[in-house]
Amino acid sequence: MPVSDYSQLNAFLDYLQFEKRYSRHTLIAYQGDLEQFFKHLEQFDQPALEQITAGMVKTWLASIKEYDDLASKSINRKISALKSFFKYQMRLGLLKVSPMTMVISPKAKKRLPVFVAEQDMDTLFAAVEFPDDWNGRTQRLVMQLFYQTGMRLSELIQLKQSQLDPGSKQVKVLGKGNKERIIPVEGNLLQELAVYMQDRPKQLAGPAYVFTTEKGRPLQPRTVYAFVKKYLAMVTTVQKKSPHILRHSFATHLMNHGADLNAVKELLGHSSLAATQVYTHNSIEKLKDTFNKAHPKA
């Protein structure tokens, strides 16, 4: 049976969604990548699953790199989608060997995380005036929680009151793949959140989200992006101003103050230490700066 009938694709996507708990964003990306690959296979007379070769994969990757000028990161995501798809077919017993064993992922350039300087974050919360209304309170608390916990945007807007534990000064976060992790939170911020939630609009139906609009609805990602960009622009000149920059700032500042790399990994909810190691560069640069300023032979 040729893969172009898409039945195997649909079964694979259901597996990713309901068993692996992949995010909607990843599902859409994988679906697009695989549909694009299946379209490429039409020139090979609709091969069956076991007839797909590494050469077919390589010609597809070469063609999209040439015509779409994709970065290594995008190419690697497409390779990852194909590897997962063929691995799933092997799991079902529909395939004995994956054609991806002969496909090598290009090396992607490691981009250093952009972050906001500590003094600029201090300025944000000490000197910037937030509106004295519901929206202003929401925006300030969201910014504080981003910076104090390093949460992802999706984790924060989906945060429910039941996940806060004021007694233990911590919050339980539901991250990628429905993996839970515990993050410490300052007691004063938890008290502010408690008061905020007591004053929240009563008309919200469903789960009691921590953060809502003045009409009692959960926050939307584009709304959070907009006000984070607005307030960061008041205190920093970094080019990117987004919720993820606050996550980078959280991790970088922890590393600069000597936090253990494995501890930062757990706080961020990374699945591998390699993802966290990018934050060591900035702490090393800080050590070099300290050395150059203080050592008599520097």
Q: What is the pLDDT of residues 270-280, one digit of tens each?
A: 988 888 888 88
List strands edge to edge, sheet with 170-174: 164-165, 170-174, 180-184
Please confirm, yes or no, whether 176 is among the known catalytic residues. yes
**In the chain, which residues fall in CATH 1.10.150.130?**
3-102
Q: Which of 152, 241, 253, 265 is catalytic?
A: 152
Beta strands in 185-220 (DSSP E): none
Q: Which of 83, 181, 270, 281 is catalytic?
A: 270
Q: What one-character DSSP code corresponds to residue 296?
A: T
* Coil vs helix vs strand at 8: helix
Dihedral in degrees, nearest 10, Cα atoms 28, 31, 37, 43: -120
What is the rounded average pLDDT of the residues 27-52? 93
Which of 206, 232, 233, 231 has its CA nearest to residue 218? 206
What is the rounded average pLDDT of the residues 9-19? 93
Looking at 18-22, 127-131, 164-168, 191-195, which range is the least confident one?
18-22
Q: Is residue 129 over pLDDT 90? A: yes
| Domain boundaries 3-102, corresponding CATH code | 1.10.150.130
Q: Is residue 288 over pLDDT 90? A: no
Q: Which of 83, 169, 244, 286 is catalytic?
A: 244
What is the rounded average pLDDT of the residues 147-159? 96
What is the rounded average pLDDT of the residues 251-266? 93
Q: Please tell me which residue, 93 or 7, carries the higher pLDDT value.
A: 93
Q: Is residue 11 over pLDDT 60? A: yes
Mean residue pLDDT of the chain comes to 89
Q: Is residue 248 over pLDDT 90? A: yes
Please confirm, yes or no, whether 257 is among the known catalytic residues. no
Which of 120, 108, 136, 150 has its CA nearest to residue 245? 150
Sign of CA dihedral 265, 271, 272, 274: negative
Percent of the chain with pLDDT over 70: 88
User: What's the pLDDT tens digit per position in 173-194?
Assistant: 988 878 899 999 999 999 999 9
**In the chain, which residues fall in CATH 1.10.443.10?**
118-293
Tokens 């379209």: give the residue.
39
Q: Which of 58, 65, 169, 176 is catalytic?
A: 176
What confidence score (pLDDT) does residue 283 get? 62
What confidence score (pLDDT) does residue 189 get? 97
Q: Global pTM?
A: 0.67
User: Within 13 A of 100's CA, how many CA atoms are on the CB side?
Assistant: 18
What confidence score (pLDDT) does residue 285 get? 62
Please confirm, yes or no, whether 247 is among the known catalytic residues. yes
What confidence score (pLDDT) does residue 113 get? 84
What confidence score (pLDDT) does residue 69 get? 59
What confidence score (pLDDT) does residue 215 get? 84
Yes or no: is domain 118-293 CATH 1.10.443.10? yes
Looking at 186-190, 206-210, 294-298, which range is the least confident one?
294-298
User: What's the pLDDT tens digit per position in 62-83?
Assistant: 888 776 656 778 899 999 999 9
Please confirm, yes or no, whether 152 is among the known catalytic residues. yes
